[in-house]
Amino acid sequence: MTEIRPFLVNGEWRNGEGTLEVRNPFDDSTVAEIAVPTDADVEEAIATAADTFEESSRLSVAARSAALDHISRRLDETQEENAVLIAREGGKPLKWARVEAARAVSTFRWASETLRHGQDEAMRLDTEAAFGSRFGILRRFPIGPVLGITPFNFPLNLVAHKVAPALAVGAPIVVKPASATPIGALRLAEFFAETDLPKGMYQVLPVSSKVADGMARDERFRKISFTGSAGIGWYLKGLDPKKKVTLELGGNAGVIVHSDADLDLAAQRVAFGGYYQAGQSCISVQRVLVASEVYDEFATRLTKQVEQLKSGDPMDETVDVGPVITGSEVDRIAEWVAEAEAQGAEVLTGGKADGPFFQPTLISRTTPEMKVRCEEVFGPVCTITPYQTFEEALAEVNDSKYGLQAGLFTNDLNRAFEAHRTLDVGGVIVNDVSAFRADQMPYGGSKDSGFGREGLRFAMEEMTEPRIMVLSHVPL
């Protein structure tokens, strides 16, 4: 019998009522049985977070940093175990699960370092004669309890990106993890429980979307940090105009390969960035735009790279591409590809479902209205399209309702700066793909890709508000 994993509320591990079954997307085996909170558990968690805020908001930097350091150390000590959990619950190939496990270590370390560095500011206010002798001290204070809602595709590190900044600023956080992959959030709870922070500062509720909707409406949460689909994200933002909301939503990232690029490097990196997560990442490469004079050569190189990718058991260390999260998602991706073919697109490689997998797929001769190009595929599918001028390529990247990140391969610094100025996205990655992310950098998008920024310092700013104290009639 599978052991039931409890959830954490008010410092207690509880079994709630009923269970949620977590299944491996590769072979449909049961990974874990997760205890489901009762309505009373949910209410207690919210009340505990609200009651804890006064204490947590007054904690010293030393206390908060020590806890963050401890969690980082424990994540470091258990990296391989954590990687295996990530691979089993979400189907991520083990070699990429190890990358995520390592990133979670640095996410908590960066939170601690950012906290110790400080964000307070001193301001001279004797700048006008009429002001007299005044001096300002600007500090940031947490706005209140945070509700974190996390997706399936990075079950450990995307939870870390909500929990670490909340603990750093002294804001209690309640996390509602994805039902398909809740183990990462519970893993972090284990390490949090070993710290000296108030027990109400981190709680995990593996509840349904319906219950999460009620939580999002609760006025005791002053902040919502959500990563997931655009429809749900914008719905959450509209629930309460007084709540602060950070949304990290979808994307159909464009990558430009200009004629002066290193084509071998670009092909290798696009083959990584479009398929490493089975395309199930908001910043996965989806639209590849190639200068016409090198299009045929690059398409050949990229096709060869994609055909070398290995799909299979996520626990096989040689596997590059794992399963899609559910069979229904496999079916949807297959429908979109078949629809594009029927409308005149050409599949250069892949294009078929294979059990829990969808073959790594590269499609040419697409048109802007095809779903594989204008929507977010969220699967191992890329399109490749030639362009005549660099300006045309920039316009094509911008011709999207999304704006999360973009990639650009060029050796021309002026083109890099032009892209940075022109592209309506949250990040431009030069000589690499859109899928690059360092955990300390600002991360978020424009348009339907979201609102606000993650990345430790930036997430901490999103969870706090500036408050100035003016000292009057002081000798300056």
Q: What is the pLDDT of residue 1?
A: 54
Mean pLDDT across the chain: 97
Q: Where do the domains of the chain lie?
A: 4-249+450-468, 253-438
- Please count the other Cβ atoms lying within 10 Å of the Cβ belonging to residue 285: 27
Element (H, E) at 420: helix 413-422
Place of tokens 């629930």: 239
Q: How many residues does the chain have?
A: 476
In sequence order, what are the beta bridge partners of 364?
346, 384
From the candidates 89, 113, 248, 462, give the one annotated as an active-site residue: 248
pTM score: 0.96
Q: Catalytic site residue 282?
A: yes
Dist. CA 344–CA 350, nearest whole Å: 16
> Dihedral angle at the C-alpha atoms of 331, 332, 337, 343, nearest 10 degrees?
120
Residues of the chain with pLDDT under 50: none
**Which one is catalytic: 44, 282, 376, 454?**
282
Which helix (H) or strand (E) is 30 found in, with range? strand 30-35
CATH number for the region 253-438 comes to 3.40.309.10
Pairing assessment for the beta strands 381-387 and 253-257 based on DSSP bridges: unpaired
- Nearest one of 27, 22, 5 to 89, comparing CA atoms: 22
Q: Return all residues near 249 (Cβ < 8 A) that are at least 6 apart.
A: 227, 228, 229, 230, 233, 234, 282, 402, 404, 445, 448, 449, 450
CATH of domain 4-249+450-468: 3.40.605.10
